[in-house]
Structure 1
Amino acid sequence: MEIEFRFLNYESGPLVPIKCLVQSVHRDYTLDLPDECLSQVFSSLSQSDRNKCSLVCHRWYKVEGQSRQRLSLHAASAIETILPNLLTRFDSVTKLALKNDRRTDSITDDSLSFISTKLPRLTRLKLRSCKQITEQGISTLATNSRWLRKISCASCSFGPSALAAILTSCPLLEDLSLKRLRGVINKGNGYTNSTDEVVIGAGFTGSDSLKSVCLKDLYNAQCFVQYLSGCKNLRTIKILRCSGPWDVSLDEISSRIPGITEVHLEKLQVSDKGLYFLSKCIDLEILHIVKTPECTDAGIAEITSKCHMLRKLHIDGWRTNRIGDLGLIEISKGCPKLQELVLVGVNPTFRSLDPIAYNCRQLERLAMCGCETVGDREVACLGSRCTMLRKLCIKGCPVSDNGLAALGQGCPSLVKVKLKRCGAVSAKCIEWLRSVRGEGFSITLDTMELQQEQDMDSAVGSETGVGDQMTEMIDGMATMDLSSGGQASQHPRGGRMRALMLVAIRRFSGGAGPSGSGANLNDNPPA
């Protein structure tokens, strides 16, 4: 490239043009970065950005592949032909996910064995709908992947013997999740694998590293208990929607692992007897009892009489009314360190909430959903006694403005309130609470209820003529959904259509609409 420069000649005076050649250089400065620095840059990018960077040049393609630690593959049988090339490029993967469609064939035991040999440093593994993988493949994987710390299997076909192989061959395993396994059948009095039909469980000692287990949507999941009960350092166990009786299994688990600190029970056939066995875990800190209709106040009393370290307690009574004031009063007596309490489908009254608010001085989070007996008196009790309460959630309870007024000066630590399906609470009360509590306070009311009330307020003072026309139009559109016989449809869709059209037409017309009555609330704080 030729560039002309002009320099001033001080002796002769005029400018003297001088032409010289300048060579333009296009240099890639990333070549100065070592591969280690380049891989650090790639690690801070998103998955899509990493894929784009791998297409820049051969060096970036190689460095990006060798530095990638997370990999997710569609584990259909068609991928088996390209597995060697994939794993040669991504040879540093430590977190692998193999997900397949339930309607297609998955990879087989040979492919899983090949993956375990190519990726010996795996620490996390997810298997989804890999139905062609059997106990033999899982056993080979566990033998080759001794660095595994977390395994999650869902919709697979292997049985409990695979669990024995994992717990035996993976000395560092800490987290195990088994969901919707189809490899367990009940044969006679014992449980067997559906593939080899070998009786399981004899002579197993357990894993010393396992800390958390989740069993979900399993048939005959009790056969796993004899393995899990041998894991002495197990601290968290979640049993969700598993069939069969669980009282005896809970007895075995709590007797052999008394150091459990977190238990989740959801939709199980467990009774007060099972909760009595569970009370042997005196270090229990977190307990979820969700939709277990056989549990009553007596079972809650057994737990709270021995487990004084409880910090979080969730109870979903499923509207059976078998857990009420008596059980909650026992909670107030035996759980002084309670920080979080969630009540769903339970009907507490002032009789139980008052001692909870008085005795559980560390209570920070409280949620009450579908509690038909929680009204203004109960909320006022919480506002006057719960000095440490920070978050409050009320859903589907008969609470009004009068009850929420107690939160204006009470609960000095309160920072967040969430209200849903509380029809007696008005938007003006919400605004009043925001102004009283200050900027650090957040309160939300169900969006639909707020919108309907704002629509009613905006309708006040509108022109009568325009309002009548719009009302006739909306009524006509709401009745368009007619059955074949000419009768109006009773589906609630018509009411929703009317409400939506009401809002849309008012916004389009600048706020005009049919006259209506606004919320009857003064500017003063509610009484």
Structure 2
Amino acid sequence: MGQGASSVSCASARDIKGEEEEEEDAQEEAMMQVQMQLQRHHTDEDYTVYLPDECLASVFQKMGTMDRNQSSLVCKRWHHVEAQGRQRLSLQAHAEIISYLPSIFMRFDHITKLALRGDRKTTSINDKALFLVGRHCTHLRKLKIKGCRQLTDDGIDLFARVVSSTLRKLSCGTCSFGARGVNAIVHHCTLLEELTVKRLRGLVEGPAEYIGPGCGSIRRLCLKELFNAQLFGPLIAGSKNLHSLMVCRNSGNWDSLLSIISEQVSSLVELHMERLHLSDRGLQAVSRWQQLEVLYVVKTTECTNLGLSAIAEGCKRLRKLHVDGSKSNRIGDDGLIALASKCRELQEVVLIGINVTAASLDLMASNCSSLERLALCNSETVGDIELSCITSKCHSLKRLCLKGCSISDQGMRGLAAGCPRLIKVKIKKCRGVTWESAYWLQVHRPRLEVSLDCEAPEAQMTEAPRVVEEIAEAEPDVMAPLPRPRSPLAKVKLALVASSSFVACSLLRWSSSRGK
């Protein structure tokens, strides 16, 4: 009996073990089937089919140009949605593109902003191609033409008639048409608000023809590097709603023209003048614009303190002022004292090549309580006393830039207690400032961004950490990371990271999540 019972128990044990093994095998097989289904599910199913076209188009709009072009080739739906949602397009304006224009704009039929770029090595598009662009781009609002030397006045005239009801912004540079073409644009395009003209070669050739007055709808006008820019006088004077005017590196005397314009236009808010033949008479004409808020006077030839005093009397709403007197060296404390006394709403002041002193800076710091950005460049009179004046009285200052000034480490240390809202300090070509003071300032104000362009000598690099350690032992709560100069290779890497594409960033985030 004993042997029979033991044999039965052994058999039952083997049966139980066999059942357990079968169950384990069945579980493993079931798990393998589940994994195969999951893999098939992940590889075969496209989750984007559940996205509405509007959401998919919004994703495409966040991508860069290269990523967007590549994504449009994934499938027919992406190809269609990407084309329907694209509103900006840039084309190489070569002559061979004329045969492809109908098919291009048949696909991209919602383009509102178009750029046509030619170059010197190839023949650009002609009048017929520009007409096709105007006929097919029925929603065109903004157009940029550059380097298209085969365009003529007749072509521009025909194009202006086609886009007369939609075009709002036009920028043309290094083209060969002239005044008649520009007149066609400002006459037919009644909704035109912004016009930029650069290096227009057609203005030099043929008889002089005045441009304007147009329909009076232009709000922003930019004229750069033109030989006969005075021909735009009627257009400027006839633009009653002109908000911004930029005239840079244009020939001729601008005093008389500004006197005429200031009598006709009263709504100007922003004015940029760079490398013009301009004197105090022109600045006195500018002072008539009482609503002026932004003024750039850069490298003008004959402007003095008298002209700046006139600006201070008439333009009391100035918020941004950029004055570059490095060409004339005839602007100093007297003009700045007048501005500081009258223009109390100043928020941004940039002075280049002007020898200011503590007298004008003290008055500006006291009267201009909203001053947030100050830049002093290539000034021989700005030293530690002037910097101390800034740090003690500019309580709203957020950004400070000093370039080519006579400040030293002692003046830099004054920034530790002054300017409570300061977030960034930029020091360039100031020989009296060393990396030791930059380390010291970084320790005392950890949140302050200090930018210093000089390379620290080896001895100074070994000395600065010792100074930081001594300060850290005395004040352990204010320890901060040490600023280090960036090498050219580091700057390139930072630029590549900052401009990384949408897909690259997504892949990096995906790979990091998988690694976790």
TM-score, normalised relative to structure 1 = 0.77
SS state at 1:183 partner: helix
Letter in 2 for 1:216: K
* CA distance in 2 between partners of 1:355 and 1:283 (Å): 23
Q: What is the Cα deviation at residue 313 of structure 1?
A: 0.6
* CA distance in 2 between partners of 1:137 and 1:212 (Å): 24
Q: What is the Cα deviation at residue 262 of structure 1?
A: 0.7
Instruction: Write out per-residue CA displacement over residues 184-242 of structure 1, whole angstroms, 9 at most, x where no aligned residue.
Output: 1376xxx53xxxxxx444xx553343211111111111101211211111111010101
* CA distance in 2 between partners of 1:452 and 1:331 (Å): 45
Q: In 2 relative to 1, CA 208–459 (structure 1 residues): closer, same or farther, beyond 3 Å?
A: closer
Instruction: Write out per-residue CA displacement over residues 289-314 of structure 1, whole angstroms, 9 at most, x where no aligned residue.
Output: 10012111111111111111111111
Partner of 2:112: 94
* CA distance in 2 between partners of 1:154 and 1:367 (Å): 32
Partner of 2:312: 304
Q: In 2 relative to 1, CA 54–377 (structure 1 residues): closer, same or farther, beyond 3 Å?
A: same
* CA distance in 2 between partners of 1:452 and 1:304 (Å): 49
* CA distance in 2 between partners of 1:411 and 1:63 (Å): 52
Partner of 1:517: none
Q: In 2 relative to 1, CA 210–92 (structure 1 residues): closer, same or farther, beyond 3 Å?
A: same
Q: In 2 relative to 1, CA 310–346 (structure 1 residues): closer, same or farther, beyond 3 Å?
A: same
2:152 aligned with 1:152, yes or no?
Answer: no
Q: In 2 relative to 1, CA 451–225 (structure 1 residues): closer, same or farther, beyond 3 Å?
A: farther
2:344 aligned with 1:336, yes or no?
Answer: yes
Partner of 2:435: 427
Considering only aligned residues, what root-mean-square deviation do their CA atoms show, in Å?
2.9
Q: In 2 relative to 1, CA 136–458 (structure 1 residues): closer, same or farther, beyond 3 Å?
A: same
2:421 aligned with 1:418, yes or no?
Answer: no
Partner of 1:216: 224
Partner of 2:251: 243
Q: In 2 relative to 1, CA 351–143 (structure 1 residues): closer, same or farther, beyond 3 Å?
A: same
Partner of 2:99: 81
Partner of 2:460: 454
Partner of 1:351: 359
Instruction: Write out per-residue CA displacement over residues 231-280 of structure 1, whole angstroms, 9 at most, x where no aligned residue.
Output: 11111101010111111111122111121011111000011111111111
Q: What is the Cα deviation at residue 141 of structure 1?
A: 2.3
More deviation, 67-76/83-92: 83-92
Q: In 2 relative to 1, CA 453–357 (structure 1 residues): closer, same or farther, beyond 3 Å?
A: farther
2:415 aligned with 1:397, yes or no?
Answer: no
2:401 aligned with 1:382, yes or no?
Answer: no
* CA distance in 1 between partners of 2:47 and 2:328 (Å): 70
Task: Please list, as runs of the form range in 1=range in 2, the aligned pairs for 1:224-303 lying within 5 A after superposition.
Answer: 224-303=232-311
CA contact (8 A) 1:369 1:396 kept: yes
More deviation, 172-181/450-459: 450-459
Partner of 1:176: 195
Q: In 2 relative to 1, CA 65–299 (structure 1 residues): closer, same or farther, beyond 3 Å?
A: same
* CA distance in 1 between partners of 2:93 and 2:277 (Å): 35
- Which residue, out of 175, 181, 193, partners 1:162? 181
2:48 aligned with 1:48, yes or no?
Answer: no
- Which residue, out of 324, 327, 333, partners 1:325? 333
CA contact (8 A) 1:426 1:453 kept: no
Q: What is the Cα deviation at residue 91 of structure 1?
A: 1.6
Letter in 2 for 1:446: D
Letter in 2 for 1:89: R
Instruction: Write out per-residue CA displacement over residues 456-507 of structure 1, whole angstroms, 9 at most, x where no aligned residue.
Output: 74999xxxxxxxxxxxxxxxxxxxxxxxxxxxxxxxxxxxxxxx9xxxxxxx
SS state at 1:413 partner: coil
Letter in 2 for 1:161: R
CA contact (8 A) 1:219 1:242 kept: yes
Letter in 2 for 1:42: F
CA contact (8 A) 2:305 2:332 kept: yes
CA contact (8 A) 1:124 1:151 kept: yes
Q: What is the Cα deviation at residue 334 of structure 1?
A: 1.5
SS state at 1:342 partner: strand
Partner of 1:442: 449
* CA distance in 2 between partners of 1:352 and 1:32 (Å): 65
Q: In 2 relative to 1, CA 385–182 (structure 1 residues): closer, same or farther, beyond 3 Å?
A: same
Instruction: Write out per-residue CA displacement over residues 123-162 of structure 1, whole angstroms, 9 at most, x where no aligned residue.
Output: 1111010111122222222222222222111101122232
CA contact (8 A) 2:439 2:464 kept: no
Partner of 1:124: 142
Q: What is the Cα deviation at residue 111 of structure 1?
A: 0.7
Q: What is the Cα deviation at residue 165 of structure 1?
A: 2.1
Q: In 2 relative to 1, CA 452–345 (structure 1 residues): closer, same or farther, beyond 3 Å?
A: farther
* CA distance in 2 between partners of 1:432 and 1:33 (Å): 55
More deviation, 146-155/135-144: 135-144
TM-score, normalised relative to structure 2 = 0.79
* CA distance in 2 between partners of 1:453 and 1:359 (Å): 44
Q: In 2 relative to 1, CA 36–332 (structure 1 residues): closer, same or farther, beyond 3 Å?
A: closer
CA contact (8 A) 1:122 1:147 kept: yes
Q: In 2 relative to 1, CA 326–186 (structure 1 residues): closer, same or farther, beyond 3 Å?
A: farther
Letter in 1 for 2:183: A
Q: What is the Cα deviation at residue 426 of structure 1?
A: 2.1
SS state at 1:229 partner: helix
Instruction: Write out per-residue CA displacement over residues 407-432 of structure 1, whole angstroms, 9 at most, x where no aligned residue.
Output: 22222222211111111112222222
* CA distance in 2 between partners of 1:435 and 1:270 (Å): 47
SS state at 2:407 partner: coil
Unaligned runs of 5+ in 1: 1-12, 193-198, 461-499, 501-527
Q: What is the Cα deviation at residue 329 of structure 1?
A: 1.2
Q: In 2 relative to 1, CA 205–320 (structure 1 residues): closer, same or farther, beyond 3 Å?
A: closer
* CA distance in 2 between partners of 1:373 and 1:459 (Å): 32
2:86 aligned with 1:63, yes or no?
Answer: no
